[in-house]
Structure 1
Amino acid sequence: MENLRLRDDFYAKIDHKGEIVTVGGIDNMKLILEDIEKNYGEKQVLKKASFTFEKGKIYGLLGRNGAGKTTLFNCISGEDIYDSGKVKIEENENINKELDFSKVGYVFSEPVLPEFLTGYEFLKFYIDINKDKIQDLLSIDEYFDIIKIHEEDRYRLIKGYSQGMKNKIQMICFLITRPPVILLDEPLTSFDVVVALEIKNLIKKMKSNHIIIFSTHILQLAVDLCDEIVVLNNGILEELDHELLKNPEFEEKIMEVLKEDYHD
């Protein structure tokens, strides 16, 4: 088996089947949220939300509709400005520093892509504007192969893409730039069963070299994919006991937690 040649200090090689094989990278990395607060007018959405996310795990972020999951992602990614608190990154146990938002990859639940470009043209444009931070670049067609986008779809206008196809394009962007932190906002809801399974497997292969936070309202998906479950409950982040994931009454217990946040 002959691998495409990538430097050993980067996280991935691609084998002849287009599969990711993790190698090297930063040994220890943490995303640290400290007392994040965010208000919209008189409504306080995040109330001193604090948590430490570690590289090598997929975190499932659960919460009721309107609980603030997207707001939290926007604050981490720099899409929105939090009112107080700190978002920091720690690498290899060095002194932590404020997170550089360019190190965050964000898969939006409703992707916003330039519809007047083809998929191929967009990725070429994306590579051009990010060339200073890309190393060991593969060809665009090789990235398409990894995500399993058929050749005829690569040259179609994005305006004709399904939401699932647009999410695939976003995933390719992360394979190109390899951001340390990846936020996934309901990314699998737009895929059919086969494609969703492929993306789940891809995410699992990527986790050893990233901090991945996965927002979903599908409890079984959280159990299947995630290593840890974090609940956004009344503006506060709470980690569930890992043993709960193995408990047959997990769904009941998580519903009890989420009902505590219901004030109507």
Structure 2
Amino acid sequence: MEFTIEHLAKNFEKKQVLRDINFTFEEGKIYGLLGRNGAGKTTLFNCINSDITKDAGECYLIKNGQKQQVTPEHVGYVLSAPTVPEFLTAREFLKFFIDINSDTMSLIKPLDAYFDEMRIEPEDRDRLMKDYSHGMKNKMQMLVNMIAEPDILLLDEPLTSLDVVVAEEMKQLLRAKKDRRITIFSTHIMDLALDLCDVIVLLSHGELEVVDKENLGEEQFKEKIITALKDGAYDVTPEAFDRRK
């Protein structure tokens, strides 16, 4: 399976954030999407997931030799700020999610098996999620997106605000679950990308570029990334638009 982006472009008012992006992602790899704050990483994810309208280009999958346009049903999207129904317990949420997605899941396990896999303790499984910490909410968001078995899993800086133990658990899980899907992990933290990801992709000046690590030591590789990212940030926040008006 391959996921291809062709000639993708996105502008906000007169600011070109993504410009003629062409890239192919391969199944079974974790791609580190590295870019400075404001470079357009979330904008790219929102275009892939059809949360915002592309100005140009297309996104498609090649599965079993057949071309398919990417729809939200193909995509799991883990946001940097977790969004879960806080009026439900974790068990209620997980049961509801499985009930509405059971037709597309290849294997349905007992609920506690999923909680065990995500290392959510038994005493936390029947608590209201409004009482969960940020990290616990993030675990639940990650869990439901992974068990839905999406072809493409988008992770928008999901580990940045987690404590060391939880972040390491999430990294181990992502490594264990990377087969049979395409995982794109967005971050602005270079060491995190180098530790977790199989391929490093830079988003700079609105374009994607693979950084080839071959024949480079770790410090040389980091320096190459820093050089490539210099002066490549795009500030696309609402505050930035207000300042430009």
TM-score (norm 2): 0.91
> Which whole-Å CA distance do the structure 2 matches of 1:139 and 1:186 have between them?
29
| Aligned position for 1:211 | 182
| Aligned position for 2:63 | 91
Task: Give the 3-state SS of the residue equivalent to 1:204 in structure 2.
Answer: helix
CA contact (8 A) 2:151 2:180 kept: yes
Render the CA deviation track for 1:35-78: whole Å, top value 9, x for unaligned. 11111111111101111000011100011111100010111112
Q: Quick check: 1:224 aligned with 2:195?
A: yes
Correspondence 1:237-252 to 2 at 5 A: 237-243=208-214, 246-252=217-223
Task: Sort the Cα spacing of 1:161 and 1:142 in 2 relative to 1 into closer, same or farther, 3 A.
Answer: same
CA contact (8 A) 1:36 1:50 kept: yes
| Aligned position for 2:225 | 254
Task: Give the 3-state SS of the residue equivalent to 1:208 in structure 2.
Answer: coil
Computed over aligned residues only, the root mean square deviation of the Cα atoms, in angstroms, reads 1.7
TM-score (norm 1): 0.84
Give structure 2 stretches of 5+ with no counterpart. 236-245
> Which whole-Å CA distance do the structure 2 matches of 1:142 and 1:183 have between them?
24
Task: Give the 3-state SS of the residue equivalent to 2:184 in structure 1.
Answer: strand
Task: Look up the equivalent residue of 1:61 and give its one-letter code.
Answer: L
Bigger relative contact order, structure 1 or 2, given CA contacts below 8 A and separation 6+?
2
Task: Give the 3-state SS of the residue equivalent to 1:88 in structure 2.
Answer: strand
Runs of 4+ aligned structure 1 residues displaced above 3 Å come to: 244-247
Task: Look up the equivalent residue of 2:130 and give its one-letter code.
Answer: K
Task: Sort the Cα spacing of 1:216 and 1:37 in 2 relative to 1 into closer, same or farther, 3 A.
Answer: same
Task: Give the 3-state SS of the residue equivalent to 2:201 in structure 1.
Answer: strand
Give structure 1 stretches of 5+ with no counterpart. 1-28
CA contact (8 A) 1:244 1:250 kept: no
Task: Give the 3-state SS of the residue equivalent to 1:49 in structure 2.
Answer: strand
Percent identity over paired residues: 53
Quote how far apart the aligned CAs of 1:247 are: 3.3
